[in-house]
Amino acid sequence: MNEKSHTRTRFIIGVLLLALLSGIFYGCTTEPEATPTPTRTPAGEPANPTAEPSPTSTSTPEPEPTPTSTPTPRPENVNPLTGEVVSDPSLLDRVPVAIKVSNHPGWAVRPQYGLNSADIVFEHYNEGYYSTRFTAIYLGKDPSVVGPVRSGRLIDLHIPPMYDAVLAAWGFSNGVLEIFKNSDLYPDRVASYSLPAALPPDPFYRDTSVDVPFEHTGRTDPARVREWANAHGITGHRELDGMLFSEEPTVDGTPATYVKIPWQDCLAEWRYDEETGRYLRWSEGAVHMDALDGQQMNAANVVVLYVPHWNTDIVEDPHNGVLSLEYALWNSNRAIIFRDGVRIDAFWQHWEREDMLTLTDEEGNVIPLAVGNTFYQVIPTEGVVVESQP
């Protein structure tokens, strides 16, 4: 048995003992019907650990798959994050940008600006499991404004390295800030007012013409963030291999034209529009618009990622004492792909810090996504029930 197998065995035994002794795991603050038990659980050491995870499942993980690389060279004019052909290949010879965008409270932050222009969007729980926030990745398109820009979370330690991106986040809580300052993102790959010495040139500004609380007026755009990155010596083409795309599904699935994700205080619904071949977004029962393009938020792919969550010892908000969440977005766990009105059960994989997150079958073969943008829904492995209907 190799060292990786020994590590995995020790991890499984530890999980089982913890579950037997304590019977405690972290989850949402409310207890809806449990999600289906994942068939894989994390193994090994996290890339930026803040605490040991509590067990989220006592099932025996299946053997570790071997990630599959992109099998054929990608044309130079094809966006590696969407599979779309771009009119100007030089657009792909630049640094990807990750921007933190708020989603709470809905009356103050919706409609957001520029999310429809992102190649990839991650949505995740905030501290306390009471709302969600977005991390949007930009390469192929340059919206003129993105916002409202808010502060980063621990998940933003894991997402930018997947895409060799620079991160723009308005600020950080004190505990999270210290971790970022000791990470490989600091000082040249994270722009934030919490890091004033490394900030200039300032990529942020406020739009006070909107009638919302001041903290929701923050704005930026990918071009501004790239100017900041260029001033810090981060520029040029990035090798972004791992994602595959196809015009039609290449593996069997089941019909799914409606997807409901009951985020606490932020119910999300996705409905497949056959005419456009895209999933359209509703939030809290209302059409969720993008203020920049005037279109309903939409995605070619909606992908549910089952990711263990747990509370750290970092106080995220001193006013109510809620703790920062860590998100075990490493190794492998369950996923559900929704594309072309079809549901495909899969696995997500992210084995090394700078690996791109990929979606695979049971044998580790990469499953192609539909050509276009992808919206990842990062949900806990327990406590959130994803509902899909034909």
Give the pLDDT confidence of 263-317 residue by residue, as tens digits: 988 899 999 999 999 999 999 999 999 999 999 999 999 999 999 999 999 999 8
Model pTM score: 0.84
Average predicted confidence (pLDDT) for the chain:
86
Q: Does residue 8 have a pLDDT over 80?
A: no
pLDDT at residue number 47: 40
Domains and CATH numbers, the chain: 89-231 (3.50.90.10)
pLDDT at residue number 72: 59
Q: Does residue 9 have a pLDDT over 50?
A: no
pLDDT at residue number 229: 98
pLDDT bracket for residue 387 (50, 70, 90) = very high
- The arithmetic mean of pLDDT across residues 175-187, rounded, is 97
Q: Does residue 61 have a pLDDT over 50?
A: no
Q: What percent of the chain has pLDDT over 70?
A: 82
pLDDT digits (tens, 9 = 90+) for 192-217: 999 999 999 999 999 999 999 999 99
Between 318 and 348, the more confident residue is: 348
Closest CA to 40 of 20, 23, 16, 59: 59
pLDDT bracket for residue 50 (50, 70, 90) = low
pLDDT at residue number 58: 29
Q: Return the structure tokens found at 74.
A: 């990608």
